[in-house]
Amino acid sequence: MFRNVDAFKEAYLERLVNMHGKGVEETTPSDQYATLGAMVREYVSRNWITTNDQYRDKGEKQVYYLSMEFLLGKLLKSNLMNLGIRELCEQGLDELGIDLDRIEEQEPDAGLGNGGLGRLAADFLDSMASLRLPGHGCGIRYKYGLFEQKIIDGYQVEIPDYWLREGNVWELRKSDKAVEVRFGGRITSHEKNDQLTFVHEDYEPVLAVPYDMPIVGYRNQTVNSLRLWSAESAIKDFDFNQMNDHNYHRLIEYKKATEAISEFLYPDDSTEEGKRLRLKQQYFLVSANLQSILCRFKRMNNDLSELPNKVAIHTNDTHPVLAIPELMRLLMDQEGLGWDEAWSITKKTISYTNHTLMAEALERWSVDLMQALLPRIYMIIDEINERFCKTLWETYPGQWEKIHHMAIIADGYVNMANLAVVGSYSVNGVSKLHSNILKKELMKPFYEWEPHKFNNKTNGITHRRWLMYANPDLTSVITEAIGSTWLKNPSDLMNLQPLTNDPSLQQATAYVKRHNKERLSNHIADQYGISVDPDSIFDVQIKRMHAYKRQLLNVFHIMDLYRRIKENPKSRITPRTFIFGGKAAPSYHLAKSVVKLIHTIADVINNDQSINDQIKVVFIRNYGVSDSERIIPASDISEQISTASKEASGTGNMKFMMNGAVTIGTHDGANIEMAEAVGEDNIFLFGLKPNEVLSYYENGGYHAREMYNQDPRLKQILDQLMNGTFVKEDVDFKSIYYSLIDHDEFFVLKDFSAYIDTQQRIAKAYGDQKEWRRMSLHNIAHSGKFSSDRTIHEYASGIWQLEPVFI
């Protein structure tokens, strides 16, 4: 059906009419999307089957990437492009009077993730398939993705995101592969032939049903899988008919509780009452996948000691780390192995990535909760802990504090990061700086205990989605300049390096940027009624709202700039458009008041005629993957200004770099490696160094109030939060004010002055357009290293021992 344009048109028309039962003219763009999606899914199914067959026949090692989040965004365009059939479809549809861009717009973003961690998982899937690696995603099919952000009166309001409303064209329900996951109940032990066996009784069964989505490699035959599990009642509906009232009610309750497991993605601030459900989700993910992985393995192997040679199980953060006790449980209780053998296999099979050093984000589960919900799993964790502490004791006799710190269970809690390190063979951080801090601070005793486990895998992004597909015009310009090898081998972007001073190339890239900015300006005018000048500097900070990411620093720069313009009505600056976007976790009050603050200052500044449109402030509501694809190609300045040591890596920073934006950033996460790649002259780094920040945390010595007293600019800005300059309604920003004056945990005031200076340097640099264009090209040239193809290559050879399979 995709052989040639005519064959496509014929097949498409027939499908369109048959699928929707109406004449072509009456079909809606959403109908047209559903039809094209279904055709593409069908088209890949042959290669999907072949890929699976070959993986089985060749018996190559497989990696399973376990993640609570996959922030996929839209898939139609990337699938068409990876398959190499988009042009054909575009032409065919065009001849039918249908606009492909418009169809692609119809697809809802699959928002099954919070932010960086979830999007990284999605980029990794793309890279694994494109590098022909047998790697699969394993996740949960949430009925509702991350909440939709509405802005009412400048305040964030959360609405459920029912992304499955119109169905999901990419998925295939595999009822025959469903497995049972068990919660609650009690464990009894029995002796049988000299062996202790454990029996789980009175548990609550939940049926886990997999939905598979194809992951299409770039211009190869590989089609990997993303398997998302849905929770359903394990009791057949017809049983309901023969019930009395009491049982019927209990069954309804059971059904509701069961389905709740895959109902919602948790925003990263889960409250107490939500915790139980979150733990249920984690075990559901882990148990369903491990049963299915083991079942597949056993179809081809009967020697379980071969498992680590055939299967790698990767845990994306600690969320799926129950995979360790669950694999132990399956190997012992189901397969009959003894503890030592099961433990040796488990430790050689599981690897773990840490994604944050933020103490609040390190997972701990109360023993009571875990014992009640997962009695057998808890027993196993307890035993792992006992044995581990015993060996620690032998090495560090008498060092109670150290052992207490390293214990998996302590003070009534299970420490998931400790379990992850003890039960895996590889622990990695996501940037050089982050991995070093892991070794030297957070996991120091573990590093001293088992140094060989620790390694770094600096994050990356898929250059296909983030450059080739999001920025097709820049892609053409690059290909015209250096040929097309970089498409498959992104490090070849370096071939741009000798051309960064080439006037015609500079002109071509500037033209593309200007065009992208114009498109974004139109979108902003259309959606927000704000007119922004495409010739202004587009200065962009898009990411989750969080104190450590310091959107406040950016806001304070805007307030300061506004003051300067008002005080010097005759001077003119190069106009700037400040663009923000990001969701605040629903119960994160401080982050939510920053959303309100941005809207408040935007309202004042955008409506102040006296400043002649020199600054505009735009907040993109409900920011998600599709927004970033539109915004990043249109950006001049990329704001990566987290408190040094706090951002594990960042990945947005790499996306901007690849699209020719210039970074203003702190010495944090992957910014440091970006600076190493481009040289300090081609990036604007400022502020405290990670060691300075860590030393303040450790030794004190920072007094925020002094900053306020010493710097009149800061004093004025902070006072304005309280005195009504910006605030016309009955709101104030007391909580922001006091969080800074009293404590300033994230050194906003401390870095303010350096930030303002650097913003001035960057404004000056922008004034020299020739130099700016060179710098922009220089950044693109050095961005290939940050392709997730490089990252995944390192995971495959350094952690998973995985070989490509040619389909």
Binding site for ligand 26V (CB under 6 A): 115-117, 120, 268-269, 317, 355-356, 358, 360-361, 430, 459, 647-651, 669
Which of 500/649 has CB closer to ligand 26V?
Answer: 649
Residue 596 beta carbon to ligand 26V: minimum distance, rounded to whole angstroms: 20
Query: What are 523's two structure tokens?
Result: 């979108």
CB of 330 to ligand 26V, least distance (A): 28
CB 671 within 8 A of CB 430: no
Place of tokens 């951002």: 647
- CA distances (Å), origin 459, targets 59, 428, 785: 29, 11, 10
| Pick from 752, 751, 721, 755: nearest CA to 738 | 721
Nearer of residues 537 and 648 to ligand 26V, judged by Cβ: 648
Contact (CB, 8 A) for 796 and 134: no
Catalytic annotation, pick one of 132, 314, 463, 544 = 544
Q: Are 123 and 112 in contact (CB under 8 A)?
A: no
* Residue 715 is a catalytic residue: no
Annotated catalytic residue, options 141, 355, 616, 646: 355
Residue 515 burial (10 A CB sphere; 0-12, 13-18, 19+): middle
Closest residue to ligand 26V using C-beta atoms: 116
Distance, in Å, from the CA atom of 290 to the CA atom of 669, rounded to the nearest integer, reads 33
The CA distances from residue 762 to 355, 507, 598, 766, in Å, are 31, 20, 22, 6
Other CB atoms within 10 Å distance of the CB of residue 509: 23
**Residue 233 CB-half CA count within 13 A:** 14
Active site residue 246: no
* Closest distance of CB 686 from ligand 26V, Å: 19
Sheet holding 413-415, edge to edge: 364-366, 413-415, 409-410
User: Per the residue annotation, which of 136, 329, 549, 778 is the catalytic one?
Assistant: 549
Report in angstroms how near the CB of residue 694 gets to ligand 26V at its nearest.
17
Catalytic residue among 434, 453, 465, 543: 543
CB of 363 to ligand 26V, least distance (A): 9
Nearest-CA neighbor of 576 among 551, 558, 553? 558
Please confirm, yes or no, whether 621 is among the known catalytic residues. Answer: no
Q: What is the DSSP string of 66-87?
A: E-S-EEEE--HHHHHHHHT-HH
Q: At its nearest, how many Å lie between ligand 26V and the CB of residue 649?
A: 4
CA end-to-end span of the chain = 21
Q: Residue 432 catalytic? A: no
> Minimum distance from CB of 648 to ligand 26V (Å)?
4
Pick between residue 356 and residue 500 the one whose CB is nearest to ligand 26V: 356
The CA-atom distances, in angstroms, between 29 and each of 81, 219, 678, 777 are 20, 28, 44, 38
Q: Is 464 a catalytic residue?
A: no
Q: Is 353 a catalytic residue?
A: no
The active-site residue, picked from 74, 557, 655, 793, is: 655
Residue 385 or 640 with smaller CB distance to ligand 26V:
640
Query: What CA dihedral angle connects 309, 310, 315 and 319, to 10 degrees?
Result: -120
Q: How far is the CB of 690 from ligand 26V (least distance, A)?
A: 14
Phi, psi of 46 (to 5 degrees): -65, -50
Of the listed 462, 651, 663, 791, which one is catalytic? Answer: 651
Residue 430 vs 688, nearer CB to ligand 26V: 430
Q: Which residue, 355 or 785, has its beta carbon nearer to ligand 26V?
A: 355
Give the residue with the Cβ less far from ligand 26V, 475 or 642: 642
Comparing CB distances to ligand 26V, the nearer of 645 and 720 is: 645
- Residues carrying an active site annotation: 355, 543-544, 549, 651, 655
